[in-house]
Structure 1
């Protein structure tokens, strides 16, 4: 099963990195999560799906601690989130004790379906927004 999970991870991340993410980053309504590259120190923008609830933005990472943006958050939790075309600064928190499947039920359906279908190690992320 681990081999199948690794293959799924490689295929999905290759598709996202080379096709889906470059296209989605250009869409003005697409939510973007901006982290700081843990090695380069450069801003890294990743299209994500999630929902703002009050002063927090919630999302579920489909590959958990294997996701590059999650690894960047572990190195530096200060992030920015573009919601409805506006950038918000915040601090990201990884929530391994949260139930990511239950969390997906409260997030946008289309993205949640994709995360459940393609994900192999779900992890809830909460961004506490400053502005």
Structure 2
């Protein structure tokens, strides 16, 4: 299925910007990170994310849905780690295409949620069930 030209251009600009920003954000000690296993390399891949822990789950919304590299990695291996407030937690990620990502972003309430809504296309909700 062909993607609209505007959506493709938006994706290219945003991902180019994020590539540079994420290199800095990954180094911040309290930045929330999602660590997946690279589907080809098998190496750990760390992505700065916004989201919120609710009980034993961590919720986030991917701004480019299944096009995001970390989502592709999750599809290949759902075992992940999440760094919250400087502490790592292991868990299993679940992609929730039937969840309403706009409503989820409202519930997460953060500056990141505003950015995801503004820059994203093809939003996808992700729930990570954290191990005890």
1:103 matches 2:104: yes
User: Post-superposition shift, 1:108?
Assistant: 3.4
Structure-1 separation of matches of 2:119 and 2:28: 22
State the Cα deviation string for residues 76-112 of structure 1 (Å, max 9, x = none). 0000000000000000000000000000011132000
Asked if the contact 1:12–1:118 (Cα under 8 Å) also holds between the matched residues in 2, the reply is: yes
TM-score by length of 2: 0.96
Q: Which residue number in structure 1 is paired with residue 26 of structure 2?
A: 25
Matches within 5 A, 1:20-99: 20-99=21-100
Greater shift in the superposed pair: 40-49 or 106-115: 106-115
Alpha carbons 1:78, 1:91 under 8 Å: kept: yes
After TM superposition, give the deviation of residue 28 of structure 1 in Å.
1.2
Runs of 5+ unmatched residues, structure 1: none
Instruction: Give SS of 1:105's match.
Output: helix
Output the TM-score relative to the length of structure 1: 0.97
CA distance in 2, matches of 1:84, 1:107: 16
CA contact (8 A) 1:94 1:126 kept: yes
What SS does the corresponding residue of 1:91 show, helix, strand or coil?
Answer: strand
2:10 corresponding residue in structure 1? 8
CA contact (8 A) 1:62 1:115 kept: yes
- Contact 1:55–1:130 (8 Å) recurs in 2: yes
